[in-house]
Amino acid sequence: MSDTRASGSGGSSVAPRTGKRAARPSTGKVRGPFGLTERTATWILALVLVVWSGALRLYKLGHVKTLIFDEIYYVRDAYTLLREGNERAWAKDVSKAAFERGDIDSYLPDPQYVVHPPVGKWVIALGEWALGADNPWGWRISVALVGTLGVLMLFLTVRRLLGNTALAFLAAYLLSIDGVHLTHSRTSLLDLILGFFCLLAFYFLLRDRDQFRDALGRIGSAAEGFGHVTGVRWWRIAAGISLGLACGVKWSGLYFVAVFGIMTVLWDWAARRRFGDPRWKLRGFALDAIPAFFAIVGSALATYVLSWSGWFASKDGYFRNWAAETGHASNPVTEALASLWHYHQEAYSFHVGLDSTHTYAAKPWLWLLQLRPTSFYYDSYTYGEAGCEVEKCSAAITNLGNPFIWWFGALALLVTLVVAIVRRSGTAGAILSGVIAGYLPWFLYLDRTIFQFYSVVFEPWLIMAIVFVFALMLGTRTASRTRRRIAIFAIASLVVTMTLASAFWWPLWTAQVIPYDLWRAHMWFDSWI
């Protein structure tokens, strides 16, 4: 299998992969600008990204003092999880406004029927524990920090995938300034948390891939040694735990379990074949595929079940006593598991049957072009209100991606697909895996009410496709100086355009009070309103 991969020197060259060990980012004492080692320079860049992306996500995080969009569900569920160990119902006369004013303890002793697992709400609850559930900072701080860590993880992931620090920094920068990721990071919804755990799993699998290739490389051509490349592959187990947490946020994480599981096995087969294992198919199946199933699926399943510990420990969680009351089990363990299974059946029926109309519902073919963004928040003001200095003002949080990032990203995905097919590029295939798992399954649920903001889950892989195309534009080490200059100019122009566009849409991502006419000028298409 051939491949296309950026050099590990931190430059921007891309070279076809040979049958030798894959290039990886250097961690040695190579001196770069200002006499810094590459490792030191990398972590300085990582720190810059954390500070930059964190500042964008924390800036006036509590500016909107109302529960935004579906925060009404997740913020309150998170609080009762924190207090009681499982979600509790709220009286109908306890309004959204009452909770926003600080009436946070008016929940009922009755369990609440919820259709999403608890991990994402536990993440939100950490912020409420730290800063209180009676203020917007407590509601949103956890998700903002997860969004910041997501930018860092993309930097580390792309650096390992492409072996290029500059492109990794550029990828993370583009993610940090995009409206889909930014608005999610400033709103307590579940999808960004799901995407983070999926990206984390992908990074762990990259670490496992490189570790396995290192092991094969040490064997050399000694065919008799290939059968001994076994043992506990801790990075795979870490990936499984991450995927279990992803499923514990939303069940759509299951698609990542399936796709990533297949991907990591294909990596092992390709590596054995590349390094000359004469029995690569048999050993790849017996020594790699079967253990991979137990390492990834087993650890994911265990993690997922453990994420329901609060429900298991409760005496009155929703459906907690269903099996005992209906005689479907004979002991406490099977009763608990049977009740949990019944809960999942009911929740699944809800999900697949969700077909209510919604103003901002969007079919998946609209997502890549950002044709139907979701309005998370909108308010209007007249002169003198909230600093409005004209006749009419608006304040909005619109989950609209930077059009130039997403439009170019759609093109980049097409190019990546062609490269994956024509060149049989494993790197291109790895990039597509996140899109396959996070995007394509939604085409199976066209009758369901779905939203464009779900795209935040696979957005990191869309960004990977962009910088992968940038690497193709730069060419190999032997590319002419003229080509590289043209490529650098084109890339710089695109990045500057994307940056200016983000600055333009910044007010609509952060609920800044602006004249209504200015808000209207941002609505390039009627479908954006």
pLDDT digits (tens, 9 = 90+) for 380-432: 999 999 889 999 999 999 999 999 999 999 999 999 999 999 999 999 999 99
Work out the pLDDT band at 506, boundaries 50, 70, 90. very high
Mark whether 348 and 360 lie in a shared domain: no
pLDDT in tens, 238-261: 999 999 999 999 999 999 999 999
Confirm whether 79 is domain-assigned.
no
Amino acid 22: pLDDT: 42
Mark whether 185 and 334 lie in a shared domain: no
Average pLDDT, rounded, for the chain: 87
Confirm whether 274 is domain-assigned.
yes
Confirm whether 228 is domain-assigned.
yes
CA 467, 473, 478, 479 dihedral sign is negative
Amino acid 65: pLDDT: 92
Mark whether 340 and 293 lie in a shared domain: no
Amino acid 25: pLDDT: 56
The token pair that represents 316 in the structure block: 């009155």
Amino acid 302: pLDDT: 95
Confirm whether 81 is domain-assigned.
no
When mean pLDDT is compared over 10-14, 144-148, 282-286, the highest value belongs to 144-148
Q: pTM of the full predicted structure?
A: 0.90
Mark whether 292 and 338 lie in a shared domain: no
Confirm whether 78 is domain-assigned.
no
Phi-psi map region of 126: left, alpha, beta (phi>0 left; psi -120 to 50 alpha): alpha
Confirm whether 107 is domain-assigned.
no
Amino acid 480: pLDDT: 86
Mark whether 294 and 331 lie in a shared domain: no
Q: Give the mean pLDDT of 201-227.
A: 81
Neighbours of 360 (CB within 10 A): 16
Question: Quick one: which H or E segment has residue 14?
Answer: strand 14-16
Mark whether 325 and 385 lie in a shared domain: no
Work out the pLDDT band at 29, boundaries 50, 70, 90. low
Amino acid 93: pLDDT: 62
Mark whether 286 and 319 lie in a shared domain: no
Q: Give residue 483's domain range.
A: 4-65+135-307+356-528
Confirm whether 25 is domain-assigned.
yes
pLDDT in tens, 420-477: 999 999 999 999 999 999 999 999 988 888 899 999 999 999 999 999 999 999 988 8
Mark whether 284 and 227 lie in a shared domain: yes
From 352, 379, 410, the end of a domain falls on 352
pLDDT in tens, 58-83: 999 999 999 999 899 899 999 999 99
Mark whether 375 and 244 lie in a shared domain: yes
Amino acid 185: pLDDT: 97
Question: Quick one: which H or E segment has residue 44?
Answer: helix 38-58
Of residues 410 and 92, the one with the higher pLDDT is 410
DSSP secondary structure string for all residues of 84-135: HSS-EEE-TTS-HHHHHTT--S-EEEEEPP-SS-SHHHHHHHHHHHHH-SSS
Neighbours of 490 (CB within 10 A): 13
Mark whether 157 and 291 lie in a shared domain: yes
Total domains present in the chain = 2
**Secondary structure E strands in 350-424:** 374-382, 392-399
Residue 229, pLDDT above cutoff 70: no
Residue 11, pLDDT above cutoff 70: no
From 352, 373, 405, the end of a domain falls on 352
pLDDT in tens, 276-332: 777 878 887 888 889 899 999 999 999 999 999 988 888 888 877 787 778 776 778
Residue 464 phi, psi (nearest 5): -60, -40
Contacts of 444 (CB under 8 A, 6+ apart): none
Confirm whether 261 is domain-assigned.
yes
Work out the pLDDT band at 220, boundaries 50, 70, 90. low
From 294, 322, 352, the end of a domain falls on 352
Number of residues that this document lists for the chain: 529
Mark whether 61 and 165 lie in a shared domain: yes
Question: Based on the number of CB atoms within 10 Å of its own CB, is 115 exposed (0-12), middle (13-18) or buried (19 or more)?
Answer: middle
Q: Give the mean pLDDT of 260-274.
A: 91
Mark whether 288 and 317 lie in a shared domain: no
